[in-house]
Structure 1
Amino acid sequence: MMNRHTPIKKARQGRYLIAEPMLLDQSFNRTVVLLTEYNEEGFVGFVLNKPMDLYIHELVPELPESDFPVFFGGPVQNDSIFYVHTLGSRVSGSLHIAGDLYWGGDFDELKALMHSGSVNPQEIRFFMGYSGWSPRQLEGELEEKSWVVLEAGSIDPLNDAPGTMWKKVLLHLGDDYKIWANAPKDPMLN
């Protein structure tokens, strides 16, 4: 029987990508990515553990001042705002990811909910940009062992601490991944 912290082979919507520690692309170095959509154009996902030094009201001045941080979602369209949430039908047009997770939806409805105080930071995460892979690109990266894939439900994407998320997930994967979790950021300095 597979537990929720057992690596699996296939990337799918709702699953997580865990970067191997020496991935050279700084956009993805030591990241955890939630895959939110798969279609004929490929995969869309968001980096969960790279907070920016910004709050959403600083980017969208018509929103009330709040404690809703913005995260680096990936290198694609990094001048655009995206969001993953658990608000479901409270925001029409939201796209179901897995479980109680959704992304996108009517931004005017979301703004109204935020103005009314009926949304808290544990229910939504904002991103600048997204991560994208063409249809065969991610499969190639998985074959190269650049990523480990985890099942939906392995991570609490809106509440797990971003600073420790990557290492915590790897430690839960067992002894085979402890070396990844404890690898120095720069082996030349070791």
Structure 2
Amino acid sequence: MSVNKLVIVDDHPIVVQGLSTLIQAEEDLHIAGTFTTGNAFLSFLKEAERIDIVLLDITLPDINGVEVCKEIKKLSPDTKVLIISNHSERSIIMQMLQHGASGYLLKNASSEELVRCVHDVLAGRIALSAEVTAIMTRPLQNELKDIPHLTKREIQVLNMIAAGRTSASIADELCVSQFTVETHRRNLMQKFDASNTAALIKMAAEQKLL
């Protein structure tokens, strides 16, 4: 039976200890090292003969996990990366997978899920814990909403708001009262169900209306 060399990179000693205990119970896995900073691990990786898989946290004290993941794939393309994180945002999960991670699980995953994900990644599969799979398969909020119907004037006002224009300057350019512009602004917020201007601009951009 071939033994896979594994490294743990996490700045929480209790997490490292817990992961180490789980991994040590697996006969086909050998812990080649544990690190609490990204740079210390990358220095080790440059000299290491072979590392099969890295269990990597995203939040490290010295360097972002995204950068560590990119460096791993540069220094040792065959080394698999399994992210173990508290970050449950879909955008972060996507970012890590796009930068070469082969799997992603949250720190509240069960020990069985962890072991399964490690073996799946080593077998060349993409491994996601159940909760991460649920996050990835949920439709995005803006996918659930129909694109609101806007009048030509509302589109005009929306683009000016996105450009950072004030209601007064928009009113001057369109030759309407400031009250009319404020009414358009309120209607836009209502149509997009936006709580503030930043949210309005973000949603309009997501719907490709800007």
TM-score range, shorter chain: under 0.3
TM-score where L is the length of structure 1? 0.25
**Larger proportion of strand:** 1
Find the structure with the greater CA-based Rg.
2
Q: Which has the higher contact order (CA 8 A, sep 6+)?
A: 1
